[in-house]
Amino acid sequence: MGEGRVSVGRCRRMFSTPLSSHVGHGEFTDVYDPAEDTFLLMDALEKDVNEIKKLSCTDINPLAAACSVESAKSNGVNIQPIITDLVTGLLPRLQNQVDVLIFNPPYVVTPSEEVGSHGIEASWAGGERGREVMDRLLPQVSSLLSSHGFFYLVTIQENNPEEIMQSLKSSSLQGTVLISRQAGREHLSVLKFWKT
C-alpha cells in the first residue's frame, strides 16, 4: 500500500506505473516485488480514483514500510507509514473514521507455520485457504469504515471471495467484485465494500 500516486481529477485518465526499481534490491532485497496482484490493485484504485482522496499505509515489517517510503518519494508522494500488526495501532482512535481501507494481504494457500514468519514468505503466506491473516482483519472492517468509507481487498479464487462477501454482508457491508484477472495460475480479484 502507499506505493502508487493517486490524485483526484474531473475526468478519468491513465496513471503511469509508479517507479519501484529499488524494491527487491539492496537494503530492500527481502521486500516483496510488485507483481500481478499489485498491478491489479492499482488498476482497481485507478477505476475509483474520484472516490479516493489520500492514502497512507501500515505494515508489520519495518523494512517494507521503509521501502514504501522510498517508493512514495521516487514518485513524488509523501507518506508516513505506521508500523503495526494490521490495524492494531489504529484502534480505537480511528473507529468509524476510515474513508479508504486497502488490503493486499498474504493470500496464498500455505502451511500455517509459514504465516507470520520473518522471511520474505510472510508477504504471501496466507495459511489455510490463504485466509489466516485476512480473517483476522475482516471482523474489524465495519467498525473502522466511516459511513462513506470503502474497503478494497485483494483475493484469489482459493480464498473464496463469495464467502468473504457473504461474511461481510452480515456486518452490514455491501460488496462487489470490482475487477478480476487471470495471472498465471492465480485468478485475482479486488473486492470493494461499503456500509449499507
Q: Per the structure block, which three cell numbers stand in for 12?
A: 478519468
Fill in the amino acid letter for 176. Answer: T
HSE at residue 84, side-chain half, CA atoms within 13 A, is 13
**Could you give the domains of the chain?**
26-195 (3.40.50.150)
> Which among 107, 90, 2 is positioned nearest to 52, based on CA atoms?
2
pTM attached to this predicted model: 0.78
Q: Bigger pLDDT: 50 or 27? A: 27
Give residue-wise pLDDT tens across range 104-140: 999 999 999 999 888 788 889 999 999 999 999 999 9
Q: Give the span between the Cα atoms of 88 and 82, in whole angstroms.
A: 10
Going 184 to 3 to 173 to 110, the CA torsion angle's sign is: positive
Q: How confident is the model at residue 1 (pLDDT cuts 50, 70, 90)?
A: very low
φ, ψ of residue 64 to 5 degrees: the values are: -65, -40
Q: Bigger pLDDT: 77 or 62? A: 62
∠ CA 84-126-186, rounded to 5°: 125
Q: Per the structure block, which three cell numbers stand in for 2?
A: 502507499
> Which among 64, 66, 48 is positioned nearest to 151, based on CA atoms?
48
Average pLDDT score, the chain: 84
**In a 10 Å sphere around its CB, with 0-12 CB exposed, 13-18 middle and 19+ buried, how is residue 148 labelled?**
exposed
